[in-house]
A and B are shown apart, each in its own frame.
Chain A
Amino acid sequence: MYNLVSGPLVWIAFSVFIGGMLYQFFRMVRMAQKDKVVLPYMSFKYGLRSLAHWLVPFASRNMRMRYETTLVTFAFHTCLFLVPIFLTAHVAMFSYAWGGKWPTLSERAADWLTVLVIFAALFFLVRRWMLPEVHFVTSKGDYLLLALVAAPFLTGFAARNQWFDYDTVIILHIVLGSAMLMAIPFTRLSHMLFFPFTRAYMGSEFGAVRHAKDW
């Protein structure tokens, strides 16, 4: 079972993820051509200007108004990338299969960053419950997506600490990680792909066309 999920399933997950992202990218480009205004107004300079502002914590007014959300959001997204890519166990598996290696996080750091992701997910959950403006627009799907993102980290942390039955937990971890990866292109997690483009377009409209800032 372990061989099945750590082999073919991961292959399938990455294929669906990469294929899905490419599909969504080209679908977006085709729709952008149909939209008439998107491509003519897109500006490299102002798109980048906007992206740069929105990738720096507290660089926009709204980020400063909601400092706790800003802190948690940046920490959450940074760790979402850092932990899976630089985890010693992941790098070792990759090396074993493909050769090559890259620097890894210390186990202690990986533990802390994983806990950070889990707490950040909890923060988002509480935010969805407590803030009326968020609760009002929250659907079951939003809870499901949050759970889907948090689950690989929870199970990974449980496996690392040998909680419950290791074999079951590690299989669960791989299955959930694969599910999350495959969900990215086809759910609102696709903001991973679309964020730079929506931001760049708005930055272009504000900067190149309206001569104003958008942060």
Chain B
Amino acid sequence: MGLPAEHFPQLPVVSDPGLDLNAKDLTPEQISQVINRVIDKETAARFDVYLNTCVHCGLCSDACHWFLSNDRDPRFSPVGKVKQTLWEMLKKKGNVDSDFIKQCSRIAQTECNVCRKCSMYCPFGIDIAYLLLVVRRICHELHMVPQFMQDTVNSHAVTLNQMWVKQDEWIDTLQWQEEDARSEVVGARIPLDKEGADVFYSVIAPEPKILAQLIGNIAQIMTVAKIDWTMPSFDGWDNSNMAMYSGDFETMGRVERAHHEAALKLKCKRIVMGECGHAFRGAVYDGPKWLAWREPPVPVIHAVDFYHELITSGRIKIARKFEEPVTVQEPCNIVRGRGLGTKLREIVQATCSHFVPPDPEFEHNYCCGAGGGVINCGPPWKTSRVKGNSVKAEQLAATKAHVVITPCHNCHSGIEDIVSSYKLGMHVKFFSEILMQVMEIPDELRAE
């Protein structure tokens, strides 16, 4: 039953060639064949039990920032999204049209961050994000992926990194950043392909492409902390994985395998990754699951965990605290996804003198709205993404902080969009940027 569709305001039509043009090529046979194949061959207990156990109580709704930000419009509630996609597919046994698949792609790819907060609100613990990832899988198999997202996945498939970075550009960037780091810290190095190093450090491809200074920063931090580390000169250096979010799980598996195999090839003891949440999820959960590894073959440490280790062990000393009021964006994939909330608080409090906690916080914090591949759907979807997270703007504004620390690339970009669109007048920083300002550089390492 439900309210008739005409009771809801029409959502703005967004033009995306990845959906609009590809939809024209879809045939009804192709659609039903793909839907039934994915459901029959690629899903089992979780899919079946989740769908048959859900009692349509709507209690998941209050978890979702999309729902809360869109005036509690039920089309944006987690279960509402499942109703508009999977329930219809199952009811019609896959006999749906291309417009319906377009709607599914819009809902699953651009209006859900697969942040998994709703599974903490569902009394049965139904993993609604997983159900929407099944929808994404179906859309991918039908080539119905937003264009910007698909371009990113194409880059993963061809180059094993997200941003079409070629090997010579990669090495050149590392050398350039090593040189920059040396202008601050004497003897700073980015050791390439060092076998047996304690730490294999990996980054997401946007770092060499557009945020190269972050690599220079880590070179300084590693040198001051006296860490035995390395980065690979070959494929596998990029730990990001948008294929995980587009439903192209074959490419996701290739990317994750290359990442872990690079660390194994260099016989490193552990992988430490930069400040990125989805990369952590891919390397620790979704990738290994697809590759039939119960655990990743090399221990994976997120930057927050690593910085916590450096600060609490005294390898990095804090010379002075950052004084402006700060708050944090707690990335879903490392707080709800790894329980790093407390460690994140501890490093923020160790480095900043005025910390204002967000409300809600820890596992219950709102997603940034950018993760889960949503920001990678590109500019066409930016307006709906920002509108879909007004609760985040209200939450940040209430802290009255000047700086939002975001130890995740997607969060960083997403929060920057929120801050600028809602005119919050805040700065957005990675934790490493704070650390660079407060870390003590011993005199013998300080460049003239």
Contacts and interface: CB of A to CB of B under 8 A. Distances in A.
Interface in A174-215: 188, 190-191, 194-195, 197-199, 201-203, 205-206, 209-215
A198 B79 contact: no
A142 B58 CA distance: 12
Contacts, number: 149
Nearest to B335: A212
Contacts of B364: 61
B72 A198 contact: no
B50 A136 contact: no
Interface stretch (A28-36, A87-95, A110-118): A28-36
A35 B48 CA distance: 10
B363 interface: yes
Given A31-B44, A131-B58, A135-B3, A215 B120 contact: yes
A186 to B, nearest CB: 9
B52 interface: yes
B45 A34 contact: yes
B95 interface: no
Nearest to A69: B59
Contact of A136 (B77, B285, B341, B360): B77
A35 B45 contact: yes
A137 B3 contact: no
A137 to B, nearest CB: 4
Contacts of A143: 1
A162 interface: no
Contact of A212 (B61, B75, B121, B363): B363
Interface of A: 28, 31-32, 34-38, 40-41, 50, 54, 60-62, 65-66, 69, 73, 131-140, 142-143, 188, 190-191, 194-195, 197-199, 201-203, 205-206, 209-215
A65 B364 CA distance: 12
Complex A-B, nearest 4 residue pairs according to Cβ-Cβ distance, in ascending order? A202-B125, A136-B74, A211-B339, A31-B45
Interface string B44-62: 1110111011111111011
B62 A65 contact: yes
18 contacts: A32-B45, A61-B120, A133-B77, A136-B2, A137-B56, A137-B77, A139-B56, A142-B55, A188-B52, A188-B56, A190-B52, A191-B124, A194-B53, A195-B124, A198-B50, A198-B124, A198-B126, A215-B120
B1 A139 contact: yes
Nearest to A50: B125
A133 B45 contact: no
Interface residues of B, number: 51
Contacts of B57: 134
B48 A190 contact: no
Nearest to A128: B56
A191 B55 contact: yes
Given A135-B3, A210-B285, A35 B46 contact: yes
A203 B363 contact: no
Interface of B: 1-3, 43-46, 48-50, 52-59, 61-63, 67, 72-75, 77, 79-80, 83, 119-121, 123-127, 285, 289, 292, 294, 335-339, 341, 360, 363-364
Given A62-B59, A198-B49, A202-B119, 11 more contacts: A62-B63, A62-B120, A62-B123, A73-B123, A136-B58, A142-B56, A188-B55, A194-B124, A211-B338, A214-B119, A214-B125
A133 B61 contact: yes
A151 to B, nearest CB: 17
Contacts of A35: 43-46
Given A34-B45, A212-B338, A134 B56 contact: yes
A73 B341 CA distance: 31
Nearest to B337: A210
Nearest to A192: B53
Contact of B53 (A61, A188, A205): A188
Contacts of B126: 198, 202
B276 to A, nearest CB: 16
Contacts of A50: 125
B125 A203 contact: yes
Contacts of A41: 294
Contacts of A199: 123-125
Contacts of B77: 133, 136-137
Nearest to B83: A137
B63 A138 contact: no
